[in-house]
């Protein structure tokens, strides 16, 4: 059996097992998901109220509505909770149980991520559907399939980028006693710079160049902007190129940090 | 029961270690707020020598016990052998591989069971973990089903395979851990405290299972344990590690003979006897006599003569001749080293 087929089977099996395992705590899951969708809904209502009260924004109500409804989906599709789990596995020596088995350690992380997304889709899908239906009249979405196809590609790249940054931060636990503070700092910075709280279109002009080219834009905002509007054809191509470059760049760094970390691993308590 | 396999001497060892060394770096921190604040601005790093230039070879099919007090370096050695840790220096080859490379073909041929760490998914039935191993180790359906059936029967866990792992007892979980570790038929099995926390019945079951696996499959087993009964039941050879150095490598019998050359004889009589009369006999060491019981240490070659004398002491009810208790030997051995180090 070649390596690819074996790894694909292992990934499938692990993803199923992860889903089975995570679905045991269904009550906690639903509450967690409901809490997650609250942020975009509240932001949407605040910005719509601001526009209704005559706030002078560089975008209209249709853009804001489309942005936040799509945001709830993109956030779900691209988010990852690997950092904490990975750091714990390293710090407490739990990584050992995967290291002695003949499969890429990455498979465990990917399956965890996929199972998370599967269950999220299960819980969040209906919630987003309701949201879409409520605000459908105020949304402006592209008619043709072209933008949706680019959107799909960009969401996948964004998910890989978030996942890679997660691995990179989690892997620092090979050297640091606790990466929780770092993970929290990243979360706060990312929530602003990714466009999860405030659309990046509302950022001041003087910060435009920085905002447009920093990596967090490509984890959430850029895919949303593809559908919500405001990007020309050339903007799309440049954006996708930058997004791909970030995925490759962070991938290379994460791989190097990981390889160095494995050498420093002390398998504490295992 | 000793599990000893016939090993052709021409075969290269499956495990070959030369000057194996491992150091750890860590920082020290004083207890309390002062210590915590000091450590924020200045940390004192130290390097600890966990394994110090040990060399050994293990032949295919051997069952070897790795013994030593806590912190001696035995688990670190096991981690290096299984590929979890990089060596700091020295040469290490297992089945022709450098373990830390963690090549697929190497990991496919070994297994590690850690008594205090579960390899199974906690919230789902053990069968899910076994099926994962089926895919991970590339087992075909027939091979997998045969191995599962064989191991389940040997371990008597047929009824446990579809129960959530967290719902089974510790002893049952350890059986399932062993099953998961052996379902792919590894050539080498590394065991770290496999019977820790188990009751006597579960321990006996695990030991007899491991002996059976060694006998049936010729699996090489390297086991660390603080339970000397594990070692006596399983190991034809022991390696004693202390302060990271290999202090002894040989058979358990030889260790007993060299450290406690005398036999222990315990006799029980129907009436009160005076065992101290035996003190003057040749080859008799310490004698304890109390009421109807007499205990004495006797030179091996003089055991027959002394037993004859014991029968003349009074009406004999029970007689027991044994080597010194391995547990006692180990305790003395480690305590002696620790005392001599403190003195020096």
What are the boundaries of each domain within chain A? 3-264
What integer pLDDT is reported at residue B4 of this predicted model?
A: 36
Q: Write out residues in chain B with pLDDT < 70, as ranges.
A: 1-10, 36, 40, 336-344
Indicate the residue of B83, B108, B135 with minimum beta-carbon distance to A99.
B83
Q: Which of residues 34-93 of A touch B (CB under 8 A)?
A: 93
Architecture of the domain made up of B15-29+48-256: 3-Layer(aba) Sandwich (3.40)
What integer pLDDT is reported at residue A104 of this predicted model?
A: 81
What are the boundaries of each domain within chain B? 15-29+48-256, 261-322
Mean pLDDT of A221-236: 88
What integer pLDDT is reported at residue B130 of this predicted model?
A: 92
Q: End-to-end alpha-carbon separation of chain A, Å?
A: 31
Token duo for residue B318:
């029970």
Mean pLDDT of A210-218: 95
What integer pLDDT is reported at residue B116 of this predicted model?
A: 77
Contacts of B208 (CB under 8 A, 6+ apart): B1, B233
Under the banding of pLDDT at 50, 70 and 90, the label for residue A48 is confident
Q: What's this model's pTM, rounded to 2 decimal places?
A: 0.79
The pLDDT tens digits of the residues spanning B76-122 come to 999 999 999 999 999 999 999 999 999 999 999 999 998 877 888 88
What integer pLDDT is reported at residue B343 of this predicted model?
A: 64
Answer yes or no: CATH 1.10.8 is held by domain B261-322.
no
Mean pLDDT of A69-74: 87
What integer pLDDT is reported at residue A266 of this predicted model?
A: 75
Contact present, B314 and B263 (Cβ < 8 Å): no
Question: Looking at beta carbons, which residues of chain B come within 8 Å of A266?
Answer: 24, 85
Question: Concatenated DSSP letters for B45-68?
Answer: EEEEEEEEEEEEEE-TT-EEEEE-
What integer pLDDT is reported at residue B156 of this predicted model?
A: 87
Quote the DSSP letter at residue B72: S
Mean pLDDT of A159-181: 90
Question: Looking at beta carbons, which residues of chain B come within 8 Å of A269?
Answer: 116-117
The pLDDT tens digits of the residues spanning A73-121 come to 898 889 888 888 889 888 888 888 888 998 888 888 888 888 888 887 7
For the beta sheet containing B89-94, the strands, ordered from the edge strand earlier in sequence to the opposite edge, are: B44-58, B15-28, B89-94
What integer pLDDT is reported at residue B8 of this predicted model?
A: 46
Question: Looking at beta carbons, which residues of chain A come within 8 Å of B79?
Answer: 96, 267, 270
Indicate the residue of A96, A102, A266 with minimum beta-carbon distance to B137.
A102
């Amino acid at each position: 059996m070649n390596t690819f087929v074996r790894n694909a089977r292992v990934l499938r099996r692990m993803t199923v097992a992860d889903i089975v395992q995570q679905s045991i705590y269904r009550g906690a899951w639903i509450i967690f998901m409901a809490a997650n969708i609250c942020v975009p809904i509240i932001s949407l209502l605040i910005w719509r109220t601001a526009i209704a009260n005559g706030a002078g924004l560089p975008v209209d109500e249709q853009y804001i509505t489309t942005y936040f409804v799509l945001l709830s989906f993109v956030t779900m599709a691209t988010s990852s909770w690997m950092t904490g789990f990975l750091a714990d596995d390293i710090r407490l020596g739990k990584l050992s149980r995967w290291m002695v088995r003949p499969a890429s350690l990455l498979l465990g992380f990917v399956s965890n991520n996929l199972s998370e997304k599967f269950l999220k889709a299960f819980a969040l899908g209906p919630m987003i559907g309701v949201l879409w239906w409520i605000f459908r009249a105020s949304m402006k979405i592209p008619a043709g399939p072209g933008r949706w196809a680019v959107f799909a590609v960009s969401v996948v790249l964004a998910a890989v980028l978030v996942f890679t940054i997660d691995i990179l931060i989690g892997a620092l636990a090979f050297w640091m006693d606790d990466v929780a503070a770092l993970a929290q700092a990243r979360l706060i910075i990312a929530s602003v710079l990714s466009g999860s709280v405030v659309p990046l279109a509302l950022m001041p002009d003087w910060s435009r160049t920085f905002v447009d080219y920093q990596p967090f834009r490509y984890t959430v905002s850029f895919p949303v902007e593809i559908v919500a509007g405001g990007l020309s054809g050339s903007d799309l191509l440049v954006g996708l190129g930058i997004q791909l470059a970030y995925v490759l760049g962070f991938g290379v760094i994460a791989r190097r940090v990981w390889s160095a970390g494995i050498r420093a691993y002390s398998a504490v308590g295992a | 029961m000793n599990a000893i396999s016939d090993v052709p001497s021409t075969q290269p060892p499956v495990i070959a270690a030369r000057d194996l060394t491992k150091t750890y770096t860590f920082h020290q921190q004083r207890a309390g707020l002062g210590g915590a604040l000091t450590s924020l601005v200045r940390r004192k790093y130290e390097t600890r020598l966990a394994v110090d230039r040990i060399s050994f070879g293990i032949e295919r099919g051997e069952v070897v016990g790795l013994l030593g007090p806590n912190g001696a370096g035995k688990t670190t050695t096991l981690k290096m052998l299984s590929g979890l840790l990089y060596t700091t220096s020295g040469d290490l080859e297992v089945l022709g591989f450098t373990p830390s490379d963690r090549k697929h073909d190497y990991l496919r041929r070994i297994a590690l069971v850690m008594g205090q760490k579960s390899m199974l998914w906690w919230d789902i039935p053990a069968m899910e973990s076994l099926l994962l191993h089926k895919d991970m180790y590339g087992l075909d359906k027939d091979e997998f089903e045969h191995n599962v059936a064989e191991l389940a029967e040997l371990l008597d866990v047929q009824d446990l395979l579809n129960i959530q792992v967290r719902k089974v007892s510790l002893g049952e979980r350890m059986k399932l851990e062993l099953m998961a570790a052996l379902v792919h038929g590894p050539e080498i099995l590394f065991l770290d405290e496999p019977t820790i926390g188990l009751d006597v019945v579960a321990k006996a079951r695990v030991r007899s299972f491991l002996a059976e696996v060694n006998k049936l499959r010729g699996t090489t087993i390297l086991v660390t344990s603080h339970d000397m009964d594990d070692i006596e039941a399983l190991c034809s050879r022991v390696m004693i590690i202390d302060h990271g150095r290999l202090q002894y490598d040989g058979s358990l019998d030889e260790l007993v003979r060299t450290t406690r050359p005398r036999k222990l004889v315990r006799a029980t009589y129907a009436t009160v006897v005076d065992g101290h009369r035996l003190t003057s006999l040749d080859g008799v060491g310490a004698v304890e006599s109390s009421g109807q019981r007499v205990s004495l240490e006797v030179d091996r070659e003089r055991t027959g003569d002394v037993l004859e004398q014991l029968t003349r002491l009074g009406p004999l009810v029970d007689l027991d001749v044994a080597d010194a208790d391995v547990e006692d030997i180990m305790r003395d051995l480690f305590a002696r080293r620790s005392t001599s180090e403190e003195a020096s």
